[in-house]
Amino acid sequence: MITKDSLKVLDVSSPAPQYVCLKLDAGKPLQGLLPGMFYELRAPSQKGRLFKPISILEVEESTLSFLIKVVGAGTQAFTQLKAGDRVEAIGPLGNGFPGIAGRRVLLVSGGAGYPPLAWIKRKSDVAGFCLHLHGCASADEAFPCDLLYTDDGSLGSKGLVTDSVDCLIAEHNIDLVFSCGPVPMLAKLTELCMQIEHYVSMEAYMACGIGVCHGCAIPVDKAFKLVCKDGPVFDATQIRWSEL
Amino acid sequence: MKQIESSLGKLKLASCVTVASGTFGLEYLKLKDADGKPLLPQESLGAYVSKTITYEAKAGNPSPRLYETECGLLNSIGLQNPGLKGFLNNDLPILKETLRIPLIVSFSGSSIDEFCEMITTMEPYDEIAGYEVNVSCPNVEKEGIAFGADPEVIYKLVSRLAVLTDKELNVKLSPNVTDIAQMALAAQEAGASSLALINTLWGMAIDWKTGKAMLSKKVGGYSGRGVKPVALALVYKVAQVAKIPILAMGGIHSWQDALEFIYAGASAVAVGTANFTAPGAPAKIAQGLHEYCKANNLYIRDLIAKVK
Ligand SMILES: Cc1cc2nc3c(=O)[nH]c(=O)nc-3n(C[C@H](O)[C@H](O)[C@H](O)COP(=O)(O)OP(=O)(O)OC[C@H]3O[C@@H](n4cnc5c(N)ncnc54)[C@H](O)[C@@H]3O)c2cc1C
Ligand SMILES: Cc1cc2nc3c(=O)[nH]c(=O)nc-3n(C[C@H](O)[C@H](O)[C@H](O)COP(=O)(O)O)c2cc1C
Ligand code: FES
């Protein structure tokens, strides 16, 4: 059931420059939510503007957490919130990543693509083996993970998150890859993981978030599919990367 | 809600508030509020207008297809739709089962013959109460605007369609023409029983840092708050000359907006972009109109085109 609700802000923090972490009170225990699912969120100051799609970072009973990178007006507005304020939310939306029980999973995130994979990693002690690689511009954007890559080498390894994927897959007997991040990173990863089951969480500009407007379509298989309704998680080999 | 009843040609509308093609779907009727109740009870709508369908299925335009500006929305969806067969086989049965309000099917063709074949195919379905003939989509090369910019073509097309149906025949007009009143009169003379306006205006946005257009198609359709004064003036202009009723849309976000369009000459209004920025808006607009009319002992049908 998709609900439009106004959720109370429990906590606002800034775990990194340019990032805001929101904890919202859903008012009732949340069930059936999967990593990769998202909400359309809007701060009260943005009334009259579009909602912004944001992946779930974590769910604990009735608390929803989000980790948001500030890139424009819609995301900037979340930084102005304080505990007790309310955020408009439509959700939960999207399909989410498949289960990982018994699998050996490589999680690859880039920049603001961190949240859904971080949630899988945190749950993985009960489900299966997970190795989480995260790539970002510099130490400023670093979040907890197994192996960190920065463009400028200010923390972790200097280079791209995709640099040693080949070796890691062999070394850890990986049989499933999940990824989320910028398109060039995802396209490169798809090339590297052709022989392995690989799912990506995709981004698109959204108006409705619920499958009405057809604005969030991306080239998948022989057609266009809706990121909000058919996705955001897709089989990586089905996406026509060259058209993005 | 007697106060906000209206009619559109052959259709009686229990509410003068409807939804704009391409901006509404059953998904919005399924959305729940915090208490688990429908955010938008369908009875608040006078009719349900489908997304435009074409004869063949259409994949739509490449992404990005959307960009929000300071006071409106740019889109270049490109009429992505399952085609007439897909619509009749998969969507129509669900619409039939779900809707308790009149269904208006918006459609577009790439030739006059194709429009005719489409309406003939749909005519036997009783669950279809009327048609909106889309001759105004700015986002496809062949369909739509090519038909909507020439009064002679509109006349030819609509007169062929009018003899093929007994249902409500609404023609949706584009604002991207020199004289919209001429298009309205051509549709009326050809046998249209109502008009819809406006479809989106041409619009564009460019990232000044990179010089890159925000839509893959570079130019798209502009809708939302910013188009309201334009839409209002065009509805007024058309209402001055046309005798058939007008379904008005363009930036309607509140019941006050809706009332302005009624005064300008609309018999009913449609909510478009506001569905995205305020899900449930059509219900709030209907309720606001109802309360205002009740409090002031007014009837919408008495206010149509009564601008002073
Ligand atoms: C399913 C989904 C889940 C997401 N999860 C998260 C998340 O957990 N954390 C997070 O920080 N961000 C996430 N995003 C991205 C986030 O939605 C956008 O950054 C946000 O919409 C930008 O809004 P804005 O008003 O701040 O910026 P805008 O002014 O809208 O845009 C600023 C810049 O970002 C680009 N942009 C805008 N929206 C998107 C988008 N959706 N995808 C790619 N580029 C975009 C614009 O073209 C522009 O260059 C997610 C997106 C999707 C589709
Ligand atoms: C995302 C989007 C999709 C649309 N799709 C259609 C369509 O399929 N057929 C059509 O006749 N109009 C379409 N329109 C135009 C609307 O029906 C309406 O005429 C226009 O948006 C003006 O109203 P508004 O400002 O309230 O949105 C679309 C508009 C938007 C924003
Ligand atoms: S955002 Fe409207 S269909 Fe996906």
- pLDDT for A125: 67
Give the CB-side neighbour count of residue B272, counting CA atoms within 13 A. Answer: 30
Token reading at B32: 């729940």
Residue of A2, A51, A223 lying closest to B59 (CB–CB): A223
Beta bridge partners of B240: none
Token reading at A92: 């939960």
Q: Which ligand is nearest to the CA of B275?
A: 2
Q: Could you tell me the distance, in angstroms and rounded to a whole number, from the CA of residue B83 to the centre of ligand 3?
A: 19
**Domain B2-303: assigned CATH number:** 3.20.20.70
**Sign for the pseudo-dihedral over CA of B271, B274, B280, B283:** negative
Residues within a 6 A CB radius of ligand 2 = A 207, 213, 215; B 20-23, 51-52, 73, 75, 77, 79, 106, 134, 137, 172, 199-200, 223-224, 227, 249-252, 271-274
- pLDDT for B225: 97
- Identify the CA nearest to B21 among candidates B172, B127, B176: B172
Where in chain B are the domains?
2-303
- pLDDT for B143: 52
**Domain A3-93: assigned CATH number:** 2.40.30.10
Instruction: Name the H helices within B17-135.
Output: 26-30, 83-86, 92-98, 112-122
Q: From the CA of A131, how many Å to the nearest CA of chain B? A: 32
Are A207 and B73 spatial neighbours (Cβ–Cβ below 8 Å)?
A: yes
> Which residues in chain A come in under a pLDDT of 70?
125-127
Pairing type for strands B53-54 and B103-108 reads parallel
Distances (CA, A) of B25 to A217, B86, B184: 16, 16, 28
Distance of alpha carbon B291 from alpha carbon B308, whole angstroms: 23
Domain A104-243, CATH among 3.40.50.80, 3.30.1330.10, 3.40.50.800, 1.20.58.1610: 3.40.50.80
Instruction: Please indicate whether residue A203, judged by its CB atom, sits closer than 6 Å to ligand 1.
Output: yes
**A214:B23 CB<8 A:** no
Residue of B39, B63, B73 lying closest to A218 (CB–CB): B63
Where in chain A are the domains?
3-93, 104-243
Are B257 and B284 spatial neighbours (Cβ–Cβ below 8 Å)?
A: no
Are B62 and A220 spatial neighbours (Cβ–Cβ below 8 Å)?
A: no
Distance of alpha carbon B285 from alpha carbon A11, whole angstroms: 34
- B116 catalytic residue (yes or no): no
Distance of alpha carbon B162 from alpha carbon B157, whole angstroms: 9
For chain B, 308 residues long, the average pLDDT of each consecutive 10-residue run is 94 98 97 95 97 95 96 96 97 98 96 95 98 80 67 94 97 95 97 97 97 96 98 98 98 98 98 98 98 97 97
- Identify the CA nearest to B71 among candidates B308, B198, B271, B253: B253
Q: Is A240 on the interface with B (CB under 8 A)?
A: no
List CB contacts of B290: < 8 A, sequence separation 6 or more. B1, B3, B4
Q: Which of residues 188-217 of A touch B (CB under 8 A)?
A: 204-208, 210-217
- Identify the CA nearest to A165 among candidates A190, A202, A145: A190
- pLDDT for A92: 97
Q: By CA distance, what is B216's nearest residue in A?
A: A244
- pLDDT for B145: 59
- Identify the CA nearest to B246 among candidates B181, B176, B202, B290: B181
Distance of alpha carbon A149 from alpha carbon A155, whole angstroms: 7
DSSP 8-state class, residue B91: I
**Sign for the pseudo-dihedral over CA of A176, A181, A187, A192:** negative
Distances (CA, A) of B209 to A18, A75, B163, B206, B240: 20, 20, 54, 9, 45
DSSP 8-state class, residue A182: -
Residue whose pair of structure tokens reads 């998150």 in the numeric block: A161
Distance of alpha carbon B187 from alpha carbon B158, whole angstroms: 6
Q: Has this prediction a pTM greater than 0.90? A: yes
Gyration radius of chain B's alpha carbons:
18
Are A79 and A26 spatial neighbours (Cβ–Cβ below 8 Å)?
A: no
Q: From the CA of A218, how many Å to the nearest CA of chain B? A: 6
Residue whose pair of structure tokens reads 């062999």 in the numeric block: A170
Instruction: Tell me which of B16, B71, B116, B137 is the catalytic residue.
Output: B137
**B65:A216 CB<8 A:** yes
**A207:B73 CB<8 A:** yes
Token reading at B298: 């007014």
- pLDDT for B149: 87
**B31:A215 CB<8 A:** no
Neighbours of B139 (CB within 10 A): 24
Residue whose pair of structure tokens reads 């899900």 in the numeric block: B279
Residue type, B197: L
Give the CB-side neighbour count of residue A135, counting CA atoms within 13 A. Answer: 21
Q: What digits encode the pLDDT tens for the residues A91-145?
A: 999 999 999 988 999 999 999 999 999 999 998 766 678 999 999 999 999 999 9
Neighbours of A175 (CB within 10 A): 16
Q: What digits encode the pLDDT tens for the residues B206-228?
A: 999 999 999 999 999 999 999 99
